Homo-oligomer: A and B are copies of this chain.
Amino acid sequence: MKKTKTRILLEKTLKEAKSSYTAFELFEIHRKDNLTLSTIYRTLQTFEKEGLVTKEVSTFKNEAVYYWKHEDHHEHGHILECVKCHKQIILNYCPFESVNEDIKEKTGFSLEDENHILYGVCKDCQ
């Protein structure tokens, strides 16, 4: 994979992110760098294919959000989204192990380790 300006910038932003971003948010963050929205989408797709980022679609925002997969601490990262303020936070561990076994036993369905947005109410909105 070639090291281009767009890829270097987006990789840095996503790696340092505490939360997930939409394509448009990345566009705004990098407005000064003159990135194009379509290139951002294409870069995110490339990252996704390479297994570097995870894409999820929020039910409430109705658009895709992207976040970097850090090999070290949250390899099974999940997103928590507050249904009131729509703030998203990345969960650093996988709480699903027990759920996974339970579902597998009852339905034959085995859960993936990613691609789950969990909706709820954050501590600031309660």
Interface residues of A (CB under 8 A from B): 55-59, 62, 64, 80, 82-83, 89, 91, 95-96, 98-99, 102-103, 107-112, 114-123, 126
Contact, CB under 8 Å: A112 / B107: no
Q: How many monomers of this protein are in the complex?
A: 2
Contact, CB under 8 Å: A119 / B116: yes
* A102 cross-chain contacts in B, Cβ below 8 A: 95
Closest-by-CB residue of B relative to A83 is: B112
* A83 cross-chain contacts in B, Cβ below 8 A: 112, 115
Contact, CB under 8 Å: B103 / A91: yes
Closest-by-CB residue of B relative to A114 is: B119
A126 CA to B111 CA in the complex, in Å?
12
A91 CA to B104 CA in the complex, in Å?
12
**From residue A121, how far is it (CB to closest CB) to chain B in Å?**
5
